[in-house]
Amino acid sequence: MQSQFRRQSVFITGTSSGIGRATAQGLARDGFRVFAGVRRAEDAAALRGESLGIEPIEIDITQADSIRAAAERLRAEVGSDGLHGLVNNAGIGIAVPIEHVALEVLRHHFEVDVFGQIAVTQAFLPLIRQATGRIVNMGSVGGHIAMPFGGVLCGCKSALRAMNDALRLELHPFGIHVSLIEPGAINTPAADKTLGEVERTISELPPQGVVRYARMLREFTRRAYETESRGSPPEVVARAVHLALTAARPLAHYPVGKNALLLTALPRLLPERILDRIRLRIFGMPSEFGKLVAHPL
Q: CB-based burial of residue 79 (10 Å sphere; 0-12 exposed, 13-18 middle, 19+ buried)?
A: exposed
User: For the chain, how many residues are written?
Assistant: 297
Write down the pLDDT at residue 294: 53
**Cα 70 to Cα 12, 35, 119, 140, distances in angstroms:** 11, 10, 12, 26
Q: Grade residue 295 by pLDDT with cuts at 50, 70 and 90.
A: low
What dihedral angle (degrees, nearest 10) is formed by the CA atoms of 13, 16, 22, 27? 50
Q: Quick check: 123 and 222 in contact, CB under 8 A? A: no
- Of 1 and 40, the structure prediction assigns the larger pLDDT to 40
CA atoms within 13 A on the CB side of 268: 8
Predicted TM-score (pTM) of the model is 0.92
Write down the pLDDT at residue 7: 76
Domains of the chain: 2-285 (3.40.50.720)
Write down the pLDDT at residue 107: 98
Mean pLDDT score, 6-16:
90
Mean pLDDT of the chain: 93
What dihedral angle (degrees, nearest 10) is formed by the CA atoms of 111, 116, 117, 118? 100
**pLDDT at residue 64 above 50?**
yes
Between strands 177-183 and 253-256, the pairing is parallel
Q: Give percent of the chain above pLDDT 90.
A: 87
- CA-CA distance, 120 to 125, in Å (whole number)? 8
- Could you read off the pLDDT of 160-200 as tens digits, one per residue? 999 999 999 999 999 999 999 999 999 988 777 767 689 99
Q: CB-based burial of residue 275 (10 Å sphere; 0-12 exposed, 13-18 middle, 19+ buried)?
A: middle
Within 8 A by CB and 6+ apart from 119, the residues are 61, 64, 67
- Could you read off the pLDDT of 97-143 as tens digits, one per residue? 999 999 999 999 999 999 999 999 999 999 999 999 999 999 999 99
Q: Which residues pair with 58 in a beta bridge?
A: 38
Q: Which residues pair with 182 in a beta bridge?
A: 255
Write down the pLDDT at residue 5: 45
